[in-house]
Amino acid sequence: MSARMIPRSRVQQGIEYCRKNVLDFLDEARMIMSKGRLNHAYLSVHFAIEEFGKAAILNEAYRLSTDDPIPISAAVFGQNSQQSHKIKTDKA
C-alpha cells in the first residue's frame, strides 16, 4: 500500500481542514433535512463521518509517529475509493 508523506508541521492544518469539512457537511445535511429530504441528507452525514475518520487517522499518526514527514496511507486520500471509504468509516 502506498503512502503519502505529510510534513509534521502540516498535519494539524490537515486535521483542522477535516474538522471544517465535518461541520460544513453537517450544516448541509441540516439544510437538506429542513426540506424534508432525509435520504439525500444521509450522503452529507456519511461524508461528515468519513472526514471525522480522516481527522482521527491523521491525529493518530501524528501522536504515534516521530517521523518527519509522517507516512499516511494514500487510501485515506482516496487513491482506492472502495478502500478509502471503509478505512475512514471504520476509524470514525
Q: List pLDDT tens digits, range 22-62.
A: 999 999 999 999 999 988 999 999 999 999 999 999 999 99
Residue tagged 501524528 (cell numbers):
62
Q: How many CB atoms lie within 10 A of CB 66?
A: 6
Domain range holding 85? 3-91
Q: Which three cell numbers stand for residue 54?
A: 480522516
Query: What is the domain count for the chain?
Result: 1
The reported pLDDT for the residue numbered 78 is 84
Residues 6+ apart with CB under 8 A from 73: 1, 2, 3, 4, 57, 87
* Sign of the C-alpha dihedral computed for residues 6, 66, 18 and 40 taken in this order: positive
pTM: 0.90
Region 58-70: what's the mean pLDDT?
A: 95
